[in-house]
Amino acid sequence: MSPTRASRGLWIEPALGILVALSLIYPLIHLFTYGYLPQPFFYAPDDLWADWFNTAYFAYDHGAYDAWRTIYPPLSFVFLRLFTLQRCYVPTDGGDSSPGLAARPCDWWGLFSLHAFYVIAIALAAYSFYKWDRKTALWRTIAIGLGFPLLDGLERGNLVIVSFICLMLAFGPILKSARWRAVAIGLAINFKVYLIASLMPLLLRRKWRFVEWGLLSTVITFLATYALLGRGTPLQIYNNIVEFNEWQSQAKDLLSIWYSTTFTPHLGLLNSPLISIPDLIGSRNTDILLFLIPLLIHSTQAAIMLAAAAVWLRPGVVPWYRVINLGLMFALITSEAGGYTQVYFMYFVFFEKFEGVGRKWAIIACYLLCPSTDIPVDTVFMPVVRDTYSWGQTVIVTFYVMLGPFFRPLIVLSVPFALSLVTLREVWKDIREQGWRLRWRFRNDAPLLVGDGAARPAA
């Protein structure tokens, strides 16, 4: 690489990091002017921190799995019993869909805990990136800490923040003990079941013992928290997950794609009997989208599977963080799990070096997913009256059709596709140099899992 191109590349990440930070200006101005956060933040301004306080309510109520139909394992409720005040959660008659929101003015401990975990998540991300590569640590920390995915998790009060902390402890260059890492991944999976997709890809790198420890930790954590909570059997959780996925695929209006990161709700909207999409964009365009969108999804999934096969063939060639990330992203692009889940794969992408077309694009794409603003195209409804929690007043809210919901899923799909191509190229290069004989020696770029090399890449 020429000095000119190298020096030009040094400015890309700082510029994108500054862009992410500056994107907070408009939402903050809007918040202090109108009393609520604008799009792409959640469309109900009175629903602030709802996931935290509603889950906390059902930590003390027995209807979590049959009335609320939650998909959370028992750990979430046991955890929130420790970080909320029980006296603030008054039982209701079951008619309120958000029964825990009344506890917000009372439960100061829950509110403090939520924001404390957010700060801890940023601190751990900063430590990880600083330990890994000091030159890019600041900008990547800004993208993670001030980027919209983690802020969305904070605004929703979602346990994604706590599970993200566990994920960093499990796989980041933070803990040295493989056993403590296994404990952390067991906790992470019990907070968010789909995070098992971050553990199983390590089998491709022959990490048998760590996967066994991780699965054992997951089972022990589940059994212990189930015993403490007294409810939440695997069958109940499975049935609720199936029901949730069916509900999610049946998009009813444009609010279904408010902040989507996959095309799952788009496909539901195209097939919705309640909204005649062909009348809006034409039947031919609708048919093209119904063909093209599944093709994009399945092509990306196929690319990840090919990359996984390549990793199995050459386990020592592909770095640990990409192996984990490919498995995780396969799960995240297959079904819509929420916009805040982007923070998981961004963390692993930011361990990649800023070199080569595929890795550069994956990193740039993650930065592009982080701004907290969006570009409006048109209004979607007439202005509506909504209550705000921040100000405790009634305001008139206008909803817009934004560009983000249409381009964001495409950008998300491009990340694993690019990294899959990089993986295939690296493995093919190694095969050309070494032949088809299996190589078991690992590159010196892995964290301290089970004798897997140094915590930082070689200089």
Q: pLDDT tens-digit profile of 382-431? A: 788 888 888 878 888 888 888 888 899 999 999 999 999 999 999 999 88
Q: Please state whether the predicted TM-score (pTM) of the whole model is above 0.75.
A: yes
* pLDDT class of 197 with cuts at 50, 70, 90: very high
Tell which residue, 159, 8, 175, has the closest CA to residue 74: 159
Q: Does 290 reside within a domain?
A: yes
For residue 417, the enclosing domain spans 11-434
Q: Which of 18-32, 85-99, 227-241, 336-350 has the lowest mean pLDDT?
A: 85-99
Q: pLDDT tens-digit profile of 83-139? A: 999 999 987 655 456 788 889 999 999 999 999 999 999 999 999 999 999 999 999
Average pLDDT over residues 143-168: 96
Burial 247-262 (b: 16+ CB within 10 A, else e): ebeebeebebbbbbbb
Q: Does 176 reside within a domain?
A: yes
Tell which residue, 339, 367, 335, has the closest CA to residue 42: 339
Mean pLDDT over the full length of the chain: 87
Percent of the chain with pLDDT over 90: 61
- How many structural domains is the chain composed of? 1
d(CA 147, CA 162): 17
Contact of 39 with 150, CB cutoff 8 Å: no
Q: Does 448 reside within a domain?
A: no
| 380 vs 123 pLDDT, higher one | 123
Predicted confidence (pLDDT) at residue 443 exceeds the cutoff of 60? no
Most confident region among 219-228, 237-246, 275-284 by mean pLDDT: 219-228
Please name the residues in contact with 355: beta carbons below 8 A apart, sequence gap of 6 or more: 1
Q: pLDDT tens-digit profile of 11-38? A: 899 999 999 999 999 999 999 998 899 9
Q: Does 1 reside within a domain?
A: no
Q: Does 124 reside within a domain?
A: yes
Most confident region among 270-274, 287-291, 340-344, 392-396 by mean pLDDT: 340-344
| 443 vs 415 pLDDT, higher one | 415
Burial 17-38 (b: 16+ CB within 10 A, else e): beebbebbeebeebbeebbbbb
Amino acid at position 70, single letter = T
d(CA 368, CA 29): 22
Please name the residues in contact with 184: beta carbons below 8 A apart, sequence gap of 6 or more: 166, 167, 169, 170, 175
| pLDDT number for residue 276 | 66
| Six-digit token string for 248 | 């999610």
Predicted confidence (pLDDT) at residue 454 exceeds the cutoff of 60? no
Q: Does 453 reside within a domain?
A: no
Angle between helices 134-146 and 12-22 (to 10 degrees): 20
Tell which residue, 180, 188, 186, has the closest CA to residue 218: 186
